[in-house]
Amino acid sequence: MSECFCALTFTLLFITVASVEAATCPDTDALALSWLDKMSRNSQQLSYHGVATLQRGGDLQVLQFSHLESQDDSSESLIKLTGQGAQVERAPHPLDCIHPGQQLLRMGDALQASDCDMARQYRFSVVGDGRVAGRDTVQIEVVPRDMYRFGYLLYLDKETGLLLKSETIGHGHKVLEKFQFARLSYSEAVPSVNGIVVSHQAKHPDALNPAISAPVSRDWGVNWLPRGFMPTDTSFGTSGRRTYTDGLAVFSVFLEDLNREMRPGEGLVRQGGTTSYTRGMLIAEEPVLVTIVGEVPVNTARMVADSIAWEH
């Protein structure tokens, strides 16, 4: 359930792009960037709730999502309406707390300084309009500039700029994952749902003392990343986890010590736009288990795993 909450939190809340001057960065669509700017500004000011669907391959989930804004903070709740009912709530979150993914996506200052950041990794363009949850939308296409990340198709509310629908696009223009509102209300009155079996309180991570997996025996590092990815936390040294984002995609690398060498091979699980890649390998003759989980193609996960090494 927490995986769904993280995916929707990214989709609905963390795509934030500040105003830009398209002429500063080559090969950009000024209209698309202006819509993303509207989404960025308004998504931090709106309270809303609704029922949405999340489709990953043959799996379809129905979710109730609520987002409340106050003068000082925001909070969310996500309730799974299909299968065994479950609920995740995020306590009030300070409005001035900005995570690395949000910093990358707020491109205004960087673009005006000719840094371009996100526009170096993705091409943004307006490709049409439509209707979602009974509201008029504009469609923004997000095309990756390399093979190491997925693309997206975003449908923004023409009135508010809120993201009402998103599609994650893989190689060959295949839709890997689709999220969209079926019903939406801009209101602070959150409807109740009876019969919730599981409830979880999502906690805000402490950047100075992050929750991490078990430490490994030596300092290690990832020596190759697709261009534009940066660390999201302070988990370094012998921490068993590293997490990276380019502002849209996020993936984590986990490393575990093994007491014996594993047989050659790799494990792969793909659920919609999320890849889980596992491999037993040797680093300087020491057996370890590498796991990479996130919104990247499997070849990206393999290349990241190949680059892991002990640090001296």
> How much is the average pLDDT of 193-221?
64
Whether 155 and 252 map to the same domain: the answer is: no
Whether 284 and 149 map to the same domain: the answer is: no
Look at residue 21 in the predicted model and tell me its pLDDT.
Answer: 40
Whether 140 and 27 map to the same domain: the answer is: yes
pTM of the model: 0.80
- What is the per-residue burial (b if ≥16 Cβ within 10 Å, else e) of 108-146? bebbeeeebbbbbbbbbebeeeeebbebebbbbbbebee
pLDDT in tens, 128-179: 999 999 999 999 999 999 999 999 999 999 999 999 999 999 999 999 999 9
- Cα 14–17–18 angle (5° rounding)? 135
Q: Which domain holds residue 94?
A: 2-202
Whether 300 and 182 map to the same domain: the answer is: no
Whether 231 and 182 map to the same domain: the answer is: no
Q: 46 in a domain, yes or no? A: yes
Q: 148 in a domain, yes or no? A: yes
Domain boundary among 134, 169, 202: 202
- Taking the alpha carbons at both ends of the chain, their separation in whole angstroms is 39
Q: Rounded distance, CA 140 to CA 255, Å?
A: 37
pLDDT in tens, 244-276: 988 788 899 999 999 888 887 889 999 899 999
Are the beta carbons of 35 and 140 closer than 8 angstroms?
A: yes
Q: Is the pLDDT of residue 234 over 90?
A: no
Look at residue 264 in the predicted model and tell me its pLDDT.
Answer: 76
Q: 211 in a domain, yes or no? A: no
> How much is the average pLDDT of 40-53?
83
Q: 207 in a domain, yes or no? A: no
Whether 232 and 100 map to the same domain: the answer is: no
DSSP string, 181-229: EEEEE-SS-PPP-S---EEEEE----TTS-------SS-EEE----TT-
Q: 212 in a domain, yes or no? A: no
Q: 210 in a domain, yes or no? A: no
pLDDT in tens, 270-287: 989 999 999 999 999 999
Are the beta carbons of 228 and 105 closer than 8 angstroms?
A: no
Domain boundary among 172, 202, 232: 202
Q: 51 in a domain, yes or no? A: yes
Whether 236 and 124 map to the same domain: the answer is: no
Say if strands 198-202 and 86-94 run parallel, antiparallel, or are unpaired: parallel
Whether 171 and 50 map to the same domain: the answer is: yes
Q: 243 in a domain, yes or no? A: yes
Q: Given phi > 0 = left and psi -120 to 50 = alpha, else beta, which region is 136?
A: beta
Whether 156 and 293 map to the same domain: the answer is: no
Structure tokens at 159: 């009135």
Look at residue 106 in the predicted model and tell me its pLDDT.
Answer: 46
Total domains in the fold of the chain: 2
Whether 77 and 195 map to the same domain: the answer is: yes
Domain boundary among 152, 175, 202: 202
Q: Is the pLDDT of residue 111 over 90?
A: no
Which amino acid, one-letter code, is at 302?
A: R
> How much is the average pLDDT of 85-91?
70
Whether 191 and 273 map to the same domain: the answer is: no
Q: Shortest CA distance to 273 belongs to which of 149, 162, 134?
A: 149
Mean pLDDT of the chain: 79
Whether 149 and 228 map to the same domain: the answer is: no
